[in-house]
Amino acid sequence: MTTVSVGQVGQRTRTRRITFLVALAVFAQEATWNFYESQVPPLLREHLTSTAVVGLLMGMDNLLGIFIQPWIGNRSDRTRTSWGRRMPYLVVGMPIAAALFILIPHSAASLPLLIVVLFSYALVANTFKPIAEALVPDFIAPERRSRANAVVKIASSITAIVAALISIFLVDNHLSLAFAIPAIIMLISIGVLAATVRDNRSPAYQAAVAESEEEHSAERTEPRVRDTFIEILKDADRSRLLLLLAILLFGSAWAASRSLMTPYGMEALDMPRGAAGGLTLPSGIAFILAAYPAAVLAERYGRLRVMAVGMSVFAGAMVLGTLIQTPMGATVALCLAAAGATCFLVNAVVVLWNLAPSARVFGTYAGMYTVGWAGGGFLGPAVVGGMVDITGWPLMLIDIAVVTSLSVIVVARIGVLQRRTALTLAK
């Protein structure tokens, strides 16, 4: 009994340690991305008068990510070094990205040079964006992954506050220093990870190596991105394909609720631009507070069930915001919606990891999740914007609720398929 207890304590300590380290890496990455999203547009507007062109350049990172992230996730799955399969990419990529990030304000005087630096940063940063999160399933058992991912999401959410504080106190008078701080955070975090993490010791890495050795003896090759996606498409069980669709749909609804909220506040609530831009701030705090409970509930009642309930809360909050169409009503609705959204954001990628047929493809699956979410971020504002053109700004939240409802239906269908599979295996 004592030996088991000591082992359990040791396992929990290791789980907490790797969770903290992954959260640190994601925090460092997202700190630069959040600051990039808020402060690069003003630099571009110094040279460009077209908002559409600025938006196109700002969407460049998402477009690159759609192509790069699944490939680099798969590339890391197939990497075998004495350091592991994830750390080499982080140790090389994060310092280069930090250096490029520092160069952004220094290149702002020339538009061509600025675009080159922005493209280079987006290219490098996308190559390791899914890698750190893939350490979660590498080290942490399936039943504890939701809690670990909740901590990672909390760390990611806090970066928005950090970016806002840097903007408030430094941007106007010390622009170069403002860009340097997120880069320094990234360098510190990778220094800590490089000194403490060897992912060749992770259970998933060891399982992947053992499986690869067995398949090499049978003259089989490591799965590529295309092989993985074709296998998902051909699988008679549509759970993984439907989950990727749900990620795309809910990512669309979430992105629309973020990016279109300022014009909604101005047009539907008659708010000034500054006040409308602050509508989502309280919901960010609600997201942070709800993330860990969403993971605990998922472990107790089932991830798919909690995801469906959370998305239903999100849709219901959109309806509530339409019925109580005031600034306070919108703020309350967004807080409820953010709390509901955590149920999906914390658990969806965990469900996808747990549906993976092998530890050899965790990185590929992390990349596919990111592509689905980025695709939603790209399509959602455009789709909902088109709906607004038809229905008008006062019904924008209802438009978002409609898109959300589609994702709820898809997740409910996955639950049905999973129950059928369980019954079949039980017979």
Mean pLDDT of 376-402: 88
Tell me the C-alpha distance between 273 and 308, whole Å.
34
Residue 221 structure tokens = 């090759």
pLDDT at position 137 over 90: no
Tens of pLDDT, residues 278-324 = 777 788 889 889 999 999 999 899 999 999 999 999 999 999 999 99
**Residue 234 neighbours by CB under 8 Å, 6+ apart:** none
- Residue 49: the pLDDT is 78
pLDDT category, 42, cuts 50, 70, 90?
confident
Q: What is the pLDDT of residue 217?
A: 54
CB 219 within 8 A of CB 371: no
Banded pLDDT at 138 (limits 50, 70, 90): confident
Q: Minimum mean pLDDT among 49-58, 131-140, 245-254, 371-380: which range?
A: 49-58
Mean pLDDT of the chain: 84
Give 162-177 pLDDT, tens digit per residue: 877 787 788 778 889 9
Does position 397 have pLDDT exceeding 70, yes or no? Answer: yes
Residue 64 and residue 159 in contact, taking contact as beta carbons nearer than 8 Å: no
Q: What is d(CA 139, CA 22) in angstroms, rounded to the nearest whole number?
A: 10
Whether 417 shows a pLDDT value over 80: the answer reads yes
Mean pLDDT value across residues 38-65: 76
pLDDT over 80 at 23, yes or no: yes
Q: What is the mean pLDDT of residues 53-81?
A: 80
The model's pTM is 0.78
Give the pLDDT score at 1.
43
Higher pLDDT, 373 or 161: 373
- Helical segments of 218-361, H only: 225-234, 239-259, 261-267, 273-277, 281-301, 303-323, 327-355
| pLDDT value, residue 116 | 95
Rounded Cα distance, 164 and 157, in Å: 12
> For the residues 390-413, what does the mean pLDDT come to?
94
**CA–CA dist 411, 379 (Å, integer):** 20
Give the pair of three-digit tokens for residue 408. Answer: 């709820």
Determine the 3-state secondary structure of 71 from DSSP: helix
Burial 216-241 (b: 16+ CB within 10 A, else e): eeeeeebbbbeebbeebeeeeeebbb
pLDDT in tens, 185-241: 999 988 998 888 888 888 888 887 887 676 555 555 666 777 788 888 888 888 899
Tokens of 88: 């080499």
Q: Which of 23-32, 140-149, 327-336 has the highest mean pLDDT?
A: 327-336
Q: What would the two tokens of residue 234 be? A: 């051909």
Residue 2 has pLDDT above 50, yes or no: no
Both tokens assigned to 186:
């990234």
HEC secondary structure over 113-165: HHHHHHHHHHHHHHHHHHHHHHHHHHHCCHHHHHHHHHHHHHHHHHHHHHHHH
Both tokens assigned to 50? 């077209």
Tokens encoding 302: 């089932």
Average pLDDT over residues 353-382: 83
Cα-flanking dihedrals φ and ψ of residue 2, to 5°? Answer: -65, -40
Within 10 Å of residue 189's Cβ, how many Cβ atoms? 23
| The two structure tokens encoding residue 425 | 């295996």
Average pLDDT over every residue of 242-252: 94
The whole-number average pLDDT for the span 8-35 is: 79
